[in-house]
Every structure is written in C-alpha cells, then in structure tokens.
Amino acid sequence: MLNMKIALRSLLRHKGYSLLNIGGLALGLACCFMILRYIAFETSYDAFHEKSGRIYRVVMTEYGEDQMLRSAQTYAPLAPIVSGNLPDIESVVRILPWSVTVKTPSNELFQEPSFLFADSLFFQMFSFGFVSGNEADALKSPHSLVLTRSASARFFGTRSSVGETLMIEGRPFRVIGVVEDPPANSSIQFELVAPMLGAKNLVGEWLFQDGKSWHWPPVYTFCTLTQQGSPERINSMLPSVMLKHLGGDFLPKRDFQLQPLTEIHTASLYENELVPTTNELTLVLLGTIAVMILALAGINYTNLATARSLTRAKEVGLRKVSGAGRGMLVRQFLGESVVYAFFALVVAVAVSELLMPLFAEIAGAAVTSTFQVEMPMVGAILLLTILVGIAGGAYPAFVLSSFQPIRVLHGRGGVLAGGSRVWNLRSVLVILQFVISLGLIIGTLAIEEQLSFISKKDLGFRKDQTVVIPIKDEDLQAGFQVFKNSILSLNGVVSASALSNFPWERGFYGFPVSISGKGREQSTDMPTILVEHDFVKTLGMTIVSGRDFSPEFGTDKGEAFIVNEEALRQYGFDDPVGFELTMKSVSAGTPKKGKIIGVVKDFHFQSLHRKIEPLVMTVAPQPYYLDNLIVHLDQGHIQQALAGMESLWARVSPDRPFDYFFLDEAFDDLYRSEQRLGKMFTVFSTLAIVIGCLGLFGLASYTIHLRMKEVGIRKVLGASLGNIAALFSREFVILVGISFVIAGPIAYLTIDRWLDDFAYRIDMQIWMFASAAGIALLAILVTVSTQALRAAMENPVEALKNE
C-alpha cells in the first residue's frame, strides 16, 4: 500500500515523464490488443458450427500442360460418387451460388447475389439456427425457400414471412423457414437458400446435363464424416475411386482431397472461394507486428524508466541512510513500475475500444467492437502487464538499490559505477528498437510498390470507362443484337459486346478441345470465354495474328476460334491460324468444329496472383451464354450514358432491377486484401517510429544528463552547437547502422516470401532499404539533436560549478 502511494505521488509530481511513459506503453498495448483481436476473429471462422470438427470440403486440383489450378470448386456428379463409394461419410451437401431476381408480393424488385442452391441436408450439416419454420422440412420441396432474418425483414417488414410466396426468376417459391443471419465469421454467406432440386427448373434444362456436368457448372461440395471417420483414409482412397469413375483419359487431370472446414478461411490455397479468405502469411506478419509493437513499447518504457532513475540516485542514498534495506528498495521500484504499467493497461483498453471500429474498417473485417472478457485472455493480459512493469523497473530496482549511500550523496558513485552496464543495455535496446522500425518501414515500402505495380500494369485490355451489366433475362439474351443496337444508339456509348462470365466469379469455362494442323494434334481441357462478335474491339484488345470475329463472316458464330499468345507458347505452335479446332460440350448436340482465325495478345482476366493461362475464345453458340453486357463509354458522357441505359432497361426488362458495375472497380476488388495489408503496415510502421522516438527522447535525456559536464567543458573550449549535436547523434547513427545490417536481410526474406504469392511481382529494390534507413536517421537526428541543442544552450558554468 505504501508503494502504491509513493508511485501515485511520483506519477503526479512528474506529469511529463508519466505522460510519456504511460502513453507510449498504452499505445503499444492498444495496438497489440487490436491486432490480436483481429487475428482471433480471422482464425475463428466456421468454428460455430456444431459439427465443425467433422465437416470437410472436397477441393480439386486440375493439372494442365505446365501448371496446376487449385480450386475450391468441384462439379455436381462428384457428390453421389463420394457418398456411395467412400466409407465414414455421414452426409454430402452441394452448394451452387447464383444471382437471381426476386419480386415481392408488393411488386418490389431486388437483384440478389447472395442466393444459394443447396442439397436438402444443408441445414442439418451447418448450424444456422432457425428462427421460425421447421428445419426438418427445409429444402425438401423443389419450390421451397429459406430466408435469413434480414432478408425476411427486407421483403416482408415486421410480419412473418413463413408461408409467403416470392417470385424467383418469375417462378413462385414458398418461404418455409427463416434462419439467423450467417455470422461475419462464416465462410458460407447467404440471404436466400433454395433446394438443389429446383436449380434445373429455375436456371435452365442445360444446368445439369448427364455426362456433361464435369465441366459446368462448378459447385462447392461439403461432407460430414462419422464420429470415427478418418479424413486421411478417405484422401488415400479418393484417387482410385475417381480413376474408376472418370477414367484415365479424362481431361483435365484432376485430383480431389478433403479440406477441414475450419481451415478454409486462413489456410486455403484454393481459388474461387465462396467468400474472400485471409492469407495465413498475412496473419503471421500481423502477429509479428503485434509482438514488434509491444516490444517497441516495452523498450520505450524501459528507456524512460532508466532515464528517470537518474534523478533518484540521491533518493536511494537518503533511504539507505534512513535504514531502508535493498529488498525494500527493490520492491518499491518494481511496485512503482508495475503500477505505471497497470495505468497504461487501463488506458490501452480504452484506446483499443475507441479505435477498434477504425481498425476494423482498415482491416476489412467485422471484428467485434466490444472487448470480450474471457478468463484465459484476461490472465494473459495481466501477466503481460506485470512482466512489462517488472522489465521497466528492473534497472532502478536492482542497479540503483545497490549504490553506496555515501558515494551517491557526494555525487560520485552510483550512476557512473553502472555506466558500462547502462551503455550495454542502451545499445541492445536501441538496436532492437530500430531493427523493428526498419523492418516495418521496408515492408511498407515494398507492399506499396507492389500495389502500385499492380495498378499500373498493362492488363492487355481496356478496363477504364467500361461498364458491365449482368443479363439474366432470357428474352434479352435471345434478342441480344436488337438490345445491343439500342445500347449503341445512346449518347456516350462508344462500343458494346457481351461475354459469358468473368473468371474471378466462377472460374473459366473449361471444355475439351482438340487442335490439329501441320501434322500435329493437341488435346486438352482449355479455359474458354464465350463472347459476342465485338468483344475484342470493345475491350481494346490487340490481334497479333489473323483477324477478329466479324458479323461479315457468316460462319464465325459456328466455326471460328481465337487463342491467346500463351496457348502458342505452351503448345509449341508458331502460327496456329488456320488450324482445325474441335470443342466438345459447349453446346447441346454435336461438338463445335471450326478453325483458329486469330491470335490475341495475352491479357489478364484474373488476379496477378495467377499466371496467364492458354485461352480460347469463341462466339457463344447459344444465347444463354451471353450473361454480361460490356459497354465502353465516352469519358465526358458517363453519367448521361448510365441514365440512358437505365431508362432503356426499364422498358425492355421491367421485371428486373437495373444492375451494373465498373470493370476497373471489379479488378481493384481482387487486391482488396493486399490494399488492407498495405494500410495496416503504413499505420503500424508510423506508430513504430513514434514510439521509437519517445524512447529515443528518454535515452537522449539520459545520455546528455550523464555528460552535462562534458558539454560544459566542450562549450568552454569553443565547441559549436552543431558540434555538440553531432557528438551525441553519432552514437545513435552507429547503432542504427548495426540495426540496418540485421533488419535488412530479415525484411528481405519475409517480404520476398509474401511477394512470391504473385505470379507477376516486383523485385526488392535497394532504394527501399535506403529510404527506410533515411527515415530512421531523420527521426534520430531530429529527436536527439533537439535534446542535445537544448543542453548545449545551457550556461556551462551551471554544469561545472561543482567541479
């Protein structure tokens, strides 16, 4: 209790020191809390399901000529094979995301992208709690429908929606249940769920064609294992089972494996996820940053405690003369330090609560803004605070308490006696401090440079001023040419075309393709884009050989193909124009046969995380492939063109809402996680510099106080203010140089590994390391020189009068 009173008196008597010490430590603790809460949230995905430990997703690896594709999606025929041929399988559920138009009883229209088709055991497998309705009856009838609580409120307000009817794509579906909204940490997000039985009726008879659904549409396949089920056993059996059903000649070559549900969000290496995932390396980096920030705060706290202890040497002498033993002094100093640390803890909790919404917005995660009181976490925080307090109070507790009272009171011993130990401690702390700061700065510069590279890279097509309008209306698709001509007549429209789908949504179409010419033949499952004639022109692509599709050639719709340059490189073709090409499964009936009429310059239609694949384009043989209208607009008339398209849409498709997106924004979304990581690195590297400067302030005070007499002597001998500032800065510059030698290789290896996730990436440049060193040196010179100049401007007589 006495130590607490002494600590409070010291805190109030030295307000500036207390503010710096408590504020710096609180800032570090608050940053650490926010990062750890974010990591805890990201690693909690899907754990809320009652059977989460037994639920697995079947994932697929496709092997091409020189590359492989890891996909979170499989195909519809897989489910009955898994269910009927593998042991330990309790249930299998397929999920097919779709975008549908919903019409309410009050004739309101909604375009719903969060719509799922699912097998009947969906709600038995996953724990999405029912608010109303019968879980046992859910998804059994082909035209039944389950809504989330928020969707029910949107469509029906406060009245019960069970028993009500919604028109989905013009067909009636009866609401038989309402469930809670999927939590933010769910890998399966939805607002409406309809039975897989109704998918074919709703979407089209072509959806699940016998023998052809191994190519389209891709679905997500989940299975629940029995209590004694072994995923390792199933994984070992899958290759032989699939070989039996697909045969050795099936293209592309595919492997299937089970992936635990709880690993999907953070440990997934697969593409085409249901919701965006978090790279595991990103969490490791953020966890490392949390430790670094806390270490910086602890170093800063220790430095300031060390500097403050200088003024207490005589206090130690007086206490010893008054009969205080060393143990009493140790307890006092450690107690005071721990009290300061607990004050910092209180401030840190308040600051983290205040800043958590802002941090969650930067991180792009729905992290709870309420501090979760869990005993293991509370215990860890309290232990951490005590350890930081002990570390900060160790020097005054054990070093100052050992001083000889007579020497201290005469101003000779104590501080100088501990000088070499202080120097070693200070050196280590400064080096560690700037290893952390330099590493964060280098990481920030590298991430920002990679993001800049992505934004400036030529993708091989024109994405600016390009609008995409999803087309779900079969009549519009069937009469696409008339609709396209109406769009082209609008003011501000430059050109228009259509394509089947964007690969970041549901992957490329993949059809079995055979190419033959000049005595060679190549068979493969080739990524395919189904387009309208003016697709290449509308997106500003470049034909490097041959010609583009053209309505002037009447055979182009049925017989023409265009391949990209990567197809030439991968298959070893010099100039394939004129080669025969046969594409199976692209249309009902006989395969599509024709010739390659052109080669298009490579273009990136997916994230730069992936290499460009061999690609074939062909004019859509059926109107139902024309799912997206692409319109290139004149820069000066974008809003006018949008208004015109909305008005036209209301006339030609009154039962569907006008929905559109800009192509450049869609591509920017592909790198949203990298942009968030860049922002977080920028924030935390800035905080690292700020906290580091607080520590330098304490160390500069400490060093200059030790050498005040030296400063006085140098001034008497004619040293200028600049000479004195340079004298004290030199030592810290040397320590930063040592820090740079340590931090440089560590930062290089870490960031280079992060960059390896991109197929197209920058190389680490010398200027990044030089800039980081320059920023650190500038911070040192400003902080240390300010303190040195203030000391140098004092009257040297004051420093020398006791000599």
Mean pLDDT by 10 residues, the chain (803 residues): 57 63 84 87 93 95 73 90 91 93 92 93 95 86 94 93 92 94 95 91 70 78 94 92 82 87 85 85 85 82 68 62 66 78 88 86 69 63 80 69 55 45 64 86 91 89 92 87 94 94 71 86 86 94 94 90 92 88 80 93 88 91 89 93 94 90 88 83 82 72 69 70 74 86 92 88 93 87 76 60 53
428/481 same-domain check: no
The answer to whether 118 and 95 have CB atoms below 8 angstroms apart is yes
pTM for this prediction: 0.80
Cβ neighbours of residue 269 under 8 Å, at least 6 residues apart?
Answer: 70
Q: Show the DSSP H helices in 177-279 as ranges.
A: 199-203, 231-246, 264-267
What is the C-alpha separation between 42 and 363, in angstroms, rounded? 11
Which of 655, 690, 717 is the endpoint of a domain? 655
Identify the domain containing residue 121 by its residue range.
65-251
| Residue 272 within a domain | no
340/385 same-domain check: yes
**What is the structure's pLDDT at 646?**
94
170/104 same-domain check: yes
349/293 same-domain check: yes
Per-residue burial over 251-269, b = 16 or more CB atoms within 10 Å of its CB, e = otherwise: bbebebbbbebbebbbebe
What is the C-alpha separation between 337 and 219, in angstroms, rounded? 59
What is residue 411's DSSP assignment? Answer: T
Q: Which two structure tokens, joined as six digits, stand for 450?
A: 């990679």
Question: Which H helix or E strand runs over 27?
Answer: helix 15-42
74/170 same-domain check: yes
616/479 same-domain check: yes
3-class state of residue 77 by DSSP: coil
**What is the structure's pLDDT at 414?**
47
645/677 same-domain check: no
Work out how many domains the chain is built from and give that number.
3
175/247 same-domain check: yes
| Residue 45 within a domain | no
- Residue 625 pairs in a beta bridge with none
632/689 same-domain check: no
Which of 655, 688, 715 is the endpoint of a domain? 655
| Residue 465 within a domain | no
Which of 251, 272, 291 is the endpoint of a domain? 251
Cβ neighbours of residue 245 under 8 Å, at least 6 residues apart?
Answer: 81, 85
What is the C-alpha separation between 673 and 738, in angstroms, rounded? 34
| Residue 592 within a domain | yes
The answer to whether 386 and 343 have CB atoms below 8 angstroms apart is no
CA dihedral 747, 753, 754, 758 (to 10 degrees): 140
Question: Which H helix or E strand runs over 434?
Answer: helix 419-456
Sign of CA dihedral 784, 790, 793, 797: negative
What is the C-alpha separation between 111 and 207, in angstroms, rounded? 21
The answer to whether 85 and 238 have CB atoms below 8 angstroms apart is no
Degrees (nearest 5) of the Cα angle 238, 189, 265? 55
What is the C-alpha separation between 503 and 389, in angstroms, rounded? 54
Degrees (nearest 5) of the Cα angle 337, 289, 676? 135
**What is the structure's pLDDT at 13?**
61
What is residue 227's DSSP assignment? Answer: T
| Residue 553 within a domain | yes
539/430 same-domain check: no
Can you spell out the DSSP letters for 310-366? GGGHHHHHHHHHTT--HHHHHHHHHHHHHHHHHHHHHHHHHHHHHHHHHHHHHHTS-
Q: Which two structure tokens, joined as six digits, stand for 441?
A: 């700065």
Per-residue burial over 556-568, b = 16 or more CB atoms within 10 Å of its CB, e = otherwise: bbebbbbbbbbbb
316/436 same-domain check: yes
Phi then psi for residue 297, to 5 deg, are -65, -40
| Residue 29 within a domain | yes
| Residue 667 within a domain | no
| Residue 663 within a domain | no
Write the single-letter amino acid at 68: M
The answer to whether 736 and 402 have CB atoms below 8 angstroms apart is no
Question: Which H helix or E strand runs over 696?
Answer: helix 672-706
195/70 same-domain check: yes
Using CB atoms within 10 Å of the CB of residue 22, give its burial: 0 to 12 exposed, 13 to 18 middle, 19+ buried: buried
What is the C-alpha separation between 388 and 293, in angstroms, rounded? 13
* Dmax (CA) of the chain: 108
What is the C-alpha separation between 234 and 323, in angstroms, rounded? 75
Question: Which H helix or E strand runs over 165?
Answer: strand 165-168
What is the C-alpha separation between 595 and 598, in angstroms, rounded? 9
